[in-house]
């Protein structure tokens, strides 16, 4: 697993308080990991902080699964 | 009107993370005061406070993880954390953790705060200023506004009755319990989880109160001696933090389910000073009228009271004014009663004070012990003629107790609690 994927999953585990094994690539933050709309904003902020990037609102809206996040960050960092 | 009794108690205080722990240490004469650790007090005239002692839950320390998941803790200011912790204790104590769906509709929450999430508001303002809007937490508003203590408790248990929060400075806790009791008395709910929470020990909290000349400044080297209501050396209040929450219940409802009944809330009186933003009216008429109204509602006279838990903040202005009002209220009974200020031990919990102190009144009724006024060695001028329970707790028969709370803006509330004798 790539370094980015590792870091993304760690952030998701910490922020959503979910078990590591539930954080699969296809897991949806809202449908599978119990996040609400405020949690997703917080997650995007954590990704920005960790990877030193800016995720614009329209891009953030499209980040709905763990893989979405990994792909966006891989392409933009 | 329907009768209202207390069936559950919960508390987070500078002395302990529980009602029993706090009460035990209070009666033993411990102080919760110490040097402030929550922020750097360099340059502040007041460097002391009564902080909740964080730890692993042993030795009366407060372990946040016992009450909220870590991810939930990050989303709320500490006043909400303390309020939720005290509410969980009270609900458990009352045996009301899993009522049915219909009963949830008749169960409400009313936990207020005097200031609310001041520390988080302050910190967020710095984040906004230094790092911009995109670094502000999406949980900031919902984690710092006052009614979210009630909101979080309601969400946790599914309590869907009246959901409310009083905001009346240092009278908040008393107003919450009094108003919640009325909600039950008027048949708008059968059960109310009510009280106050506060966690305003932070830089701007201290800066504001220091500039208002309200905090003690002469005891930075001897923190436990600083809160000394009615003593000649009193020089301002010592700030505390924590929460007090009770479960209030309609009498027949409590009897029907066999709930343990601690006491009955029989009197509640309110008044306004109409005088000044921070100073009480010099003749004490605001406090007097609140006490008078509470006794009238209770159908009692001053002679029926055995104990008064005073507002007693340890300020040279406030202490003698309240003392005078109480003395006038008691008249010939002044020599028979005990009055103390537990702020001498736990400091002033602002919006939580009235709730925590109402619980102390209830404990004095169930245990027949009245807590002491610490550091009272030499009475200030105009404070003679009432037993102020100086330095040590007293065993006394307490059938009825009154609790006073007075707040900035000239807002006053008095509660009268009476022994429940099964009738």
For B181-216, the DSSP string reads HHHHHTTS-SEEEEEEEE---SHHHHHHHHHTT-B-
Q: What confidence score (pLDDT) does residue B109 get?
A: 98
Contact between B69 and A42 using a beta-carbon 8 Å cutoff: no
Q: What confidence score (pLDDT) does residue A1 get?
A: 56
Contact between B139 and A38 using a beta-carbon 8 Å cutoff: yes
Report the residue from B71, B138, B139 with minimal CB separation from A17: B71
Taking CA atoms, B365 is separated from B262, B360, B397, in Å, by 8, 9, 8
Mean pLDDT (chain B) is 97
Q: Measure the CA–CA gap between B238 and A32, rounded to whole angstroms.
A: 48
Taking CA atoms, B402 is separated from A11, B24, B130, B269, in Å, by 52, 21, 49, 11
State the pLDDT confidence band at A46, using cuts at 50, 70 and 90: very high
* Residue B147 falls in which region: left (phi positive, over 0), alpha (psi -120 to 50) or beta: alpha
State the pLDDT confidence band at B423, using cuts at 50, 70 and 90: confident
Mean pLDDT of B257-271: 98
Going by their DSSP bridges, the two strands B394-395 and B369-370 should be labelled as antiparallel
Do B191 and B163 contact (CB within 8 A), yes or no? Answer: no
Contact residues for B132 (Cβ-Cβ < 8 A; gap 6+):
none
Taking CA atoms, what residue in A is nearest to B141? A38
Q: Measure the CA–CA gap between B104 and B111, rounded to whole angstroms.
A: 17
What is the percent of chain B where pLDDT is above 70?
100
- Matching fold, domains B4-257 and B268-418: yes
Do B259 and B248 contact (CB within 8 A), yes or no? Answer: no
- On the 0-12 / 13-18 / 19+ scale of CB atoms within 10 A, B341 is buried
Q: Which two tokens stand for residue A26?
A: 């296809």
State the pLDDT confidence band at B127, using cuts at 50, 70 and 90: very high
Instruction: Report chain A residues whose CB lies below 8 A from the CB of B75.
Output: 38
Instruction: Report chain B residues whose CB lies below 8 A from the CB of A14.
Output: 71
Report the residue from B71, B134, B139 with minimal CB separation from A16: B71
CATH number for the domain harbouring residue A22 = 1.10.1200.10
Query: Which domain does A34 fall in, by range?
Result: 3-76
Q: Measure the CA–CA gap between B238 and B216, rounded to whole angstroms.
A: 6
Q: Which two tokens stand for residue B329?
A: 């209220």
Return the CATH superfamily for domain B268-418: Thiolase/Chalcone synthase (3.40.47.10)
Contact between A45 and B137 using a beta-carbon 8 Å cutoff: yes
State the pLDDT confidence band at A2, using cuts at 50, 70 and 90: confident
Q: Give this prediction's pTM.
A: 0.96
* Bridge partners, residue B49, by sequence: B34
Q: What confidence score (pLDDT) does residue B421 get?
A: 85
Question: Does residue B272 have a pLDDT over 80?
Answer: yes
Interface of B with A in 132-161 (CB under 8 A): 134-135, 137-139, 142
Contact between A48 and B134 using a beta-carbon 8 Å cutoff: yes
Query: How many CB atoms are located within 10 Å of the residue B251 CB?
Result: 18
Domain range list for chain B: 4-257, 268-418
Q: Which of B69, B134, B140 to mutate to test the interface with A (most CBs of A within 10 A)?
A: B134
Mean pLDDT of B74-85: 97
Taking CA atoms, B283 is separated from B196, B385, B414, in Å, by 28, 18, 17
Element (H or E) spanning B345, and its range? helix B343-346
Pick the closest to residue B356 from B224, B172, B184, B181 (CA basis): B172
What is the percent of chain A where pLDDT is above 70?
99
Report the residue from A14, A16, A42 with minimal CB separation from B139: A42
Q: Which of A21, A32, A36, A58 is catalytic?
A: A36
Pick the closest to residue B285 from B415, B410, B130, B112 (CA basis): B410
Task: For residue A36, indicate whether it is catalytic.
Answer: yes
Q: Which two tokens stand for residue B324?
A: 């005078």
Contact between B71 and A45 using a beta-carbon 8 Å cutoff: no
Give the CATH number of domain B4-257: 3.40.47.10
8-state DSSP, B126: H
CB half-sphere exposure, B391, CA atoms < 13 A? 4
Report the residue from A16, A42, A54 with minimal CB separation from B137: A42
Q: Which of A41, A60, A61 to mutate to test the interface with B (most CBs of B within 10 A)?
A: A41
- Does B70 touch chain A if contact means CB atoms closer than 8 Å? yes
Do B405 and B170 contact (CB within 8 A), yes or no? Answer: yes
Cα dihedral: B298, B350, B320, B383 (round 10): 80
Task: Kindly report the length of chain B.
Answer: 423
| Strand, helix or coil for residue B69 | coil
For the stretch B373-410, pLDDT in tens is 999 999 999 999 999 999 999 999 999 999 999 999 99
Question: Does residue B345 have a pLDDT over 70?
Answer: yes
Instruction: Report chain B residues whose CB lies below 8 A from the CB of A48.
Output: 134
Element (H or E) spanning B53, and its range? none
Q: What interface predicted TM-score (ipTM) does this complex get?
A: 0.89
Pick the closest to residue B151 from B163, B143, B140, B166 (CA basis): B163
Query: How many CB atoms are located within 10 Å of the residue B304 CB?
Result: 16
Query: How many CB atoms are located within 10 Å of the residue B198 CB?
Result: 34
Residue B198, min C-alpha distance to chain A (Å):
25
Q: Which of A19, A23, A42 to mutate to test the interface with B (most CBs of B within 10 A)?
A: A42
- Does B128 touch chain A if contact means CB atoms closer than 8 Å? no
Task: Give the number of domains in chain A.
Answer: 1
Do B26 and B50 contact (CB within 8 A), yes or no? Answer: no
Instruction: Report chain A residues whose CB lies below 8 A from the CB of B71.
Output: 14-17
Do B196 and B112 contact (CB within 8 A), yes or no? Answer: yes
Q: Which of B46, B50, B104, B170 is catalytic?
A: B170
8-state DSSP, A32: T
Question: Does residue B188 have a pLDDT over 90?
Answer: yes
Q: Which two tokens stand for residue B182?
A: 């009325």
């Amino acid at each position: 697993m790539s370094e980015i994927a590792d870091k993304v999953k760690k952030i998701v585990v910490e922020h959503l308080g979910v078990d590591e094994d539930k954080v699969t690539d296809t897991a949806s933050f809202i449908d599978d990991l119990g996040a609400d709309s405020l949690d997703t904003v917080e997650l995007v902020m954590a990704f920005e902080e960790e990877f030193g990037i800016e995720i614009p609102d329209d891009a953030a809206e499209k980040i709905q699964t763990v893989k979405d996040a990994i792909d966006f960050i891989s392409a933009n960092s | 009107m329907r009768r209202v009794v207390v069936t559950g108690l919960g508390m987070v205080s500078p002395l302990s993370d529980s009602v029993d722990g706090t009460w035990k240490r209070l009666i033993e004469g411990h102080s919760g005061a110490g040097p402030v650790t929550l922020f750097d007090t360099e340059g502040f005239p007041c460097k002391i406070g009564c902080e909740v002692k964080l730890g692993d839950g042993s030795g009366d320390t407060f372990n946040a993880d016992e009450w909220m998941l870590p991810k939930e803790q990050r989303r709320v200011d500490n006043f909400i954390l303390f309020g939720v912790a005290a509410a969980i204790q009270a609900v458990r104590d009352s045996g009301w953790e899993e009522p049915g769906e219909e009963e949830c509709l008749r169960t409400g929450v009313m936990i207020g705060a005097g200031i609310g999430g001041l520390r988080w508001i302050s910190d967020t303002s710095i984040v906004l200023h230094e790092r911009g809007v995109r670094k502000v937490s999406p949980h900031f508003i919902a984690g710092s506004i006052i009614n979210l203590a009630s909101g979080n408790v309601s969400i946790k248990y599914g309590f869907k009755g009246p959901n409310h929060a009083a905001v009346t400075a240092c009278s908040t806790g008393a107003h919450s319990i009094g108003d919640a009791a009325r909600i039950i008395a008027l048949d708008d709910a059968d059960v109310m989880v009510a009280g106050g929470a506060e966690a305003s020990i932070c830089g701007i909290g201290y800066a504001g109160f220091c500039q208002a000349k309200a905090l003690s400044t002469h005891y930075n080297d001897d923190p436990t001696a600083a809160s000394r209501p009615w003593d000649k050396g009193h020089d301002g209040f010592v700030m505390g933090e924590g929460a007090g929450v009770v479960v209030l219940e309609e009498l027949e409802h409590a009897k029907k389910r066999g709930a343990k009944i601690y006491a009955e809330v029989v009197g509640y009186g309110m008044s306004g000073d109409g005088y000044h933003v921070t100073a009480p009216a010099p003749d004490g008429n605001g406090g007097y009228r609140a006490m008078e109204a509470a006794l009238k509602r209770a159908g009692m006279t001053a002679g029926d009271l055995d104990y008064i838990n005073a507002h007693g903040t340890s300020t040279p202005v406030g202490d003698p004014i309240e003392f005078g009002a109480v003395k006038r209220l008691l008249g010939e009974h002044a020599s028979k009663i005990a009055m103390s200020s537990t702020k001498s031990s736990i400091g002033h919990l602002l919006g939580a004070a009235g709730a925590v102190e109402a619980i102390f009144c209830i404990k004095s009724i169930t245990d027949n012990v009245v807590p002491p006024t610490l550091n009272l060695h030499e009475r200030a001028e105009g404070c003679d003629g009432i037993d102020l329970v100086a330095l040590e707790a007293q065993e006394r028969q307490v059938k009825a107790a009154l609790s006073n709370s007075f707040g900035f803006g000239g807002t006053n509330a008095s509660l009268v609690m009476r022994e429940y004798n099964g009738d």
